[in-house]
A and B are shown apart, each in its own frame.
Chain A
Amino acid sequence: MVQQNTQERNTIVEKIHFDFTLDAFTNTNANPTIEIYLDGETCIPKTQISSKQKISFDIELKKNNQQHRLTMYRANHSNKGEQILKIEKLEADGINLNKLLDNFYFYPIYPNQWYKEQLANGTKWPEKQKGWRDLGFNGKWVMEFTTPFYTWLLKNT
């Protein structure tokens, strides 16, 4: 029985291929970096984005009726000068998910000094920003979904 449960746990219910088309713009010497995780497991290790490029990987979803988080950590902005990481396109199994990008959140790490200055001037920047595709701050971009993935996709498109 235990063995059967283990087998059930390891059965791949869905395998989804993701393509992120990213681009970077900067007037500094450094390029943005990204790392992508599914629920804490690495999908893409730290990668520098210097120009338009496609980042591709597969995810395996082993259970139905589960919540998942696909997280892209965006880093390497010294907070001096301008540096933008742009999410140009998101695809799952070749299906364009750009319309869904409007629903996902980016959690910026605002530069401390700048954030304090903004506060002093009466502007409190929110903890998360919905639908951002041009990521000018370090931080994490999160796509939350449920399984089966295609059921979630049908419901949300």
Chain B
Amino acid sequence: MGDGIYHPFLHMVAEKHMMDPKKKYQLFKQNNNFCTCPWTNAQIYTNGDVKTCSIGTEVLGNVNESDILEILTKSNTLKRIRTNMLNDTPDPNCVVCQYRSIDDDNFVYLKDHYNSRIKNDDVDYDDIENFDLRFIDLHWSNICNLRCVMCHPEQSSLIAKDENFITTPVNQKNIKKIREMIIKNQTRLKEIYLSGGEPFYIPYNFTLLEEISNKDIPIRVNSNMHWQQNNKVFKALLKFKNVQLTMSVDALNEKFGYIRNGADWNTFTKNLEFVKTHTNFDIRINTIFSIINAIDICDLIKYFFAKDIRDITINLCTTPSPIDARNYPKNKKSKIVGAILDLIKTMSPDNVNLISNLKNCINRLQLDNEGSYEDCLDQITRKHKISWRSVFKDLI
């Protein structure tokens, strides 16, 4: 460290914490509320907020205000979350995973993603002040080249600019500190997750990826796929052995460009084919289900199935609330539900995640309508050159 201050977190070495094997087994296999994240993962958000993961509901602290080690070891919220987990008690921070676990036992939720990757590692879960960096979730900048209709200023610099929203970014000193923390612990890392903003345009990502010498670390990246093929971050990712690239896409052709304002379907497909030529990239799809793509969801899935891409996640759109799928025209909902059910019948039962996601879409559609979407779409239209009425004809 160049600042002359001793940072114990940066000097953390791989100490062997041998937890009682039976207790560890019980945590991973018999405890419904246990997740490794509070001990091993940190999400750094675009404004410096620290959370347990991307779906944790509580802010543990902010790296612009407190030392990250202090946050990850001394936060009272974090101690409470860990204690609840050890006691197999649901914690409010983890409500999203809990909600999903109630729906379907076979559904893989985020805690499973993390738990499955670390179950064979020694981490001292008995210690509620222990933090042992194994995963990092970097949403550390909102730099983005699109204005997706379901996005907001904190995750898109273009929306922030449009709305004169003043963001407080993670300051350079802390970016450096986080980067050094990752480099120091790189031999033990199980995953680096890059999101944003658009990770391919965030310069810190390039610096970090270039500085990491352990190219075995799995990298998970979310992208809107709108970048030049000589993009520096993409080139840096080519050096890693295992990159899981999650492409954000909600509809095909013209609707894609409308939902992901500024996006172009041809650019997306061109880059998709380009990525497919690189064997270190594992491609998956992430889509957001709302009134504006409800009618297209089956076509979207069939399109990617035809390209042999079957790892598809569908999240439900909750903001802006008027475009929540529950507000789809009442008299047309049954047609979409029928189409989804027909699609499920054609799918392999092994595709548990996607089937569960599609069932969630049906459940959402079947909720009572909560209001009108016209005003919201009119507002969105002002940012577009064409009216939503000419693109989303099913909503008229």
Contact = CB atoms under 8 A, between A and B. Distances in A.
Interface of A: 14, 93, 95, 148-151, 153-155, 157
Contact of B120 (A14, A148, A154): A154
A150 B21 contact: yes
A149 B24 CA distance: 12
Nearest to A13: B21
Nearest to A153: B25
B22 interface: yes
Interface string B28-70: 1100000000000000000000000000000000000000000
B380 to A, nearest CB: 48
B22 A155 contact: no
Which 9 A-B residue pairings sit nearest by Cβ, starting from the closest? A150-B21, A148-B21, A150-B25, A151-B21, A150-B22, A154-B25, A155-B120, A154-B119, A154-B28
Interface string B14-25: 000000011011
Contacts of B120: 151, 154-155
A103 B215 CA distance: 33
Contact of B24 (A14, A95, A150): A150
Interface of B: 21-22, 24-25, 28-29, 119-120
A111 to B, nearest CB: 40
A47 B264 CA distance: 73
14 contacts: A14-B21, A14-B22, A148-B21, A150-B21, A150-B22, A150-B24, A151-B24, A151-B120, A154-B24, A154-B29, A154-B119, A155-B119, A155-B120, A157-B29
Given A154-B28, A154-B29, A149 B21 contact: yes
Contacts of B25: 150-151, 153-154
Nearest to A147: B21
Contacts of B119: 154-155
Given A154-B25, A155-B119, A157-B29, 9 more contacts: A93-B22, A95-B29, A150-B22, A150-B25, A153-B25, A154-B28, A154-B29, A154-B119, A154-B120
B121 to A, nearest CB: 11
A75 B21 CA distance: 35
Residue in B25, B29, B119 whose Cβ sees the most chain A Cβ within 10 Å: B25
A149 B29 CA distance: 14
A14 B21 CA distance: 9
A154 B21 CA distance: 9
A15 to B, nearest CB: 10
Contacts of B24: 150-151, 154
Nearest to A152: B21
A149 B25 CA distance: 10
Contacts of A148: 21
B39 to A, nearest CB: 16
Nearest to B120: A155
Nearest to B23: A150
Nearest to B30: A95
A94 to B, nearest CB: 10
A148 B25 CA distance: 11
A23 to B, nearest CB: 27
